[in-house]
Amino acid sequence: MTTVLTESLPQEEPPATKAVLDKKRVLIVGGGFAGIAAARALKRANVEITLIDRRNHHIFQPLLYQVATAVLAPSEIAAPIRQLEAKQKNLSVLLAEVKGINSGTRTVDVYCPGIGSLKLEYDFLVIAAGMHPSYFGHDEFARFAPGLKSLNDAETIRTRILSAFELAESTDDEKERARQMTFVLVGAGPTGVELAASIAQLASVTLRNNFRKIDPAKSRILLLDGGARILPTFSESLSRKAARRLSKLGVEVSTGVKVEKVDDQGVIAAGNRIPSATVLWTAGVSASPVIKMLGTKMDRAGRAFVGAFMDIPEAPNVFVAGDAATMTQDGNPVPGVAQAAIQQGRFVGHVIANRVRGRKDGRPFRYRNKGNMAVVGKNFAILESGHLRSSGFLTWLVWAALHILSLPQLQNRFRVQTQWLWSYLSGQRSSRLISEGSRSSAS
């Protein structure tokens, strides 16, 4: 890595050995699914890779909702990005936040905590910075309705949910008790559906008989969406089945409902005030602000339009992969899911490896959809893969097996499997602690 220090540290000559100068420098921004797949695909290439992430860990986001609902602990679905260095000699990991990109000078400005600002040079740049929750122009909602994207978010949500039951138990005001026991989720995509079902089971099974004054099973869990139906990325028949399952679990689903306001008392939806102490935002996402720094064309969600080789028109040595990229295939957008991010990251890695070897680019990127799944509480999942549609217990077993196999490291797999088995048999959840520091932020 050639690093030019600009602020906190004195200027130093980088160690310019011949081997270093011979090698092309690849900067990868983001240690999510796409960034890691790109790094791995470059394992045998004669390049120097620097993988930059502002977090020191990779998160298996599909199971974040289980951290938010006390099934799993944060460490069970995350893995340190740095451990990649042990497995890949041409890779360095840098804990830093990207602050600016200049594709003219081929440099990226980063801020390293405790060190200061650095300027990094590159020959190839891969942006895999993902998405973050979007409040559709109402950023003021964020204070009252956390989204679910990071381990911090998951812990915040878990604290709010568990604290709501505690506050409902301790108050003698019936109205306030009802407000504490009302959970509103805004957005009925897979995250909203999975989270709502899991809160319902937490309330009706895990917390049963844990309180004297309240019956957690009488909680209201409302899932609101502005669209015509829940899970719009699935077929109508599966969406209907998931809605029926949610209703069996006690979740009240309302579609075609626009949330107009979120504040410290709850939400206003379709003109009606719904008092609630726990509002969760599972509605929209927009691309990382890093994309804006590229100065390339973006869609409404801030994702970069990429070409057939995942590069941007202004700079063919700059690639965008994963959720932060937008492209269509056969007239349909490539979805923002983990498998698309992995395929794109791997593809970009191979393109760079080819270019470094002086070879021509192979075939353009083509997304292979292996199917989409969503889980709706214990024993029920839906699966859509091509013309295949299935739902129910067997699909849920497939979902569980696939998720265990996809976890980032062996110890995650072992620990999640053990937690699930215990939770399945006992109905209990192991992460019900409210840490003292986080309690004050819950209301």
Ligand X SMILES: Cc1cc2nc3c(=O)[nH]c(=O)nc-3n(C[C@H](O)[C@H](O)[C@H](O)COP(=O)(O)OP(=O)(O)OC[C@H]3O[C@@H](n4cnc5c(N)ncnc54)[C@H](O)[C@@H]3O)c2cc1C
Q: Which residues bind ligand X (CB under 6 A)?
A: 29-35, 52-55, 61-62, 64-65, 97-98, 128-130, 148-149, 190-191, 288, 290, 322-324, 336-339, 341
Query: How far apart are alpha carbons 361 and 41 in whole angstroms?
Result: 15
Residue type, 381: A
CB of 252 to ligand X, least distance (A): 22
CB of 161 to ligand X, least distance (A): 15
Cα maximum dimension of the chain: 75
3 state SS of 137? coil
CB of 333 to ligand X, least distance (A): 13
- Hey, what's the torsion of the CAs at 159, 161, 165, 166, to 10 degrees? 10
Q: Judged by CB, which is closer to ligand X: 183, or 214?
A: 183
Q: Judged by CB, which is closer to ligand X: 84, or 214?
A: 84
Burial 195-232 (b: 16+ CB within 10 A, else e): bbbbbbbbbbbbbeeeeeebebeebbbbbbbbeebbbe
CB 145 within 8 A of CB 281: yes
CB of 280 to ligand X, least distance (A): 11
Q: Judged by CB, which is closer to ligand X: 30, or 266?
A: 30
**DSSP letter for each residue of 76-124:** GGEEETTHHHHH-TTEEEEE-EEEEEETTTTEEEEEETTTEEEEEE-SE
Beta bridge partners of residue 388, listed in sequence order: 385
Structural element, H or E, at residue 184: strand 182-186
Interhelix angle 393-406/410-426, rounded to 10 degrees, is 150
Q: Judged by CB, which is closer to ligand X: 38, or 167?
A: 38
| Set 48, 76, 155, 194: catalytic member | 194
CB of 165 to ligand X, least distance (A): 22
- In Å, how far are 10, 113, 263, 322 from 108, measured between CA atoms? 18, 16, 38, 20
CB 250 within 8 A of CB 221: yes
CB of 169 to ligand X, least distance (A): 29
Our answer to whether residue 194 is catalytic in this structure is yes
CB 102 within 8 A of CB 6: no
Q: Judged by CB, which is closer to ligand X: 120, or 181?
A: 120
Q: Judged by CB, which is closer to ligand X: 97, or 176?
A: 97
In this structure, what token pair is assigned to residue 60? 């298996």
The catalytic site residues sit at 194
